[in-house]
Structure 1
């Protein structure tokens, strides 16, 4: 067994099997496990997908939300144990793989068209 085959076999065990299909422009609600002292709770983070980096078990998603005029971006590792749940709330029709133009101030007027 070669090294590459061994790594792919280990990665297959680490990946979550029931992830939804995610694409740029989607509105996601991700439940993130937060530990505070001895307690842990699930905190939802809702945002628009700006981009996806697909690397097997290292797949990451960049989420962005606007809260009270302040933009918050978060890079989440999809197959992490800290991710409790992922739900797609809305799908949008976009023509780019990376939606970095939504970071600009005039992008607040930009509306993503809903995909049916």
Structure 2
């Protein structure tokens, strides 16, 4: 059983390298393949990263939260999922913690994360 897991892990190891490095607080756009019947399309899920779990392991997941029609929607993605086509990093967030669960209880401007401004010397 473990030999099969190792084969699959090797196959998807290079997928992680193609994604940009992101952390909690960053705004990302995840392009996900959706299969409906015999049709397949790409759907974008844009939101703030709430958390990353099991970083640098094969079971790594990340949670993205967005507000859709005034309702908070959270989605958990496995980083090695073949259904993820690509991840775009839109904004870097300035946060002081790794888990942003406090955003769940906030609305409007209070739910915004400040943008980290890159300083060049």
Give me the TM-score of the superposition, normalised by structure 1.
0.85
Query: Shift of residue 93 of structure 1?
Result: 0.8
Partners of 1:20 and 1:11 in 2: how far apart?
Answer: 19
Corresponding residue number in structure 1 for 2:46? 46
Greater strand proportion: 1
* Deviation (angstroms), 1:109: 1.4
Task: Tell me: CA distance 1:21–1:36, structure 2 relative to 1, closer, same or farther (3 Å).
Answer: same
User: SS where residue 11 of structure 1 aligns?
Assistant: helix
Which runs of 5 or more structure 1 residues have no equivalent in the other structure?
Answer: none
> What is the distance in 2 between the residues matched to 1:95 and 1:56?
23
Which TM-score applies when normalising by structure 2?
A: 0.82
Q: Return structure 1 stretches of 4+ with deviation > 6 angstroms.
A: 6-9
* Closer, same or farther: CA 106–69 of 1 in aligned 2, 3 Å: closer
After superposition, what is the alpha-carbon deviation per residue over 1:51-105, rounded to whole angstroms, capped at 9, x for unaligned?
0012522210000000111000000011100001100000011000100000013
State the 1:42 CA deviation.
0.3
Corresponding residue for residue 58 of structure 2: 57
* Deviation digits for residues 3-27 of structure 1 (CA, Å, limit 9, x no counterpart): 7xx9667534322131110110000
Alignment RMSD:
2.2
Aligned to 2:67: 66
- Equivalent position SS for 1:13: helix
Question: Bigger CA drift: 8-17 or 25-34?
Answer: 8-17
C-alpha distance in 2 between matches for 1:37 and 1:106? 36
Instruction: Quote the residue 1:88 is aligned against.
Output: 89
Segments of 5+ residues of structure 2 without an aligned counterpart are: none
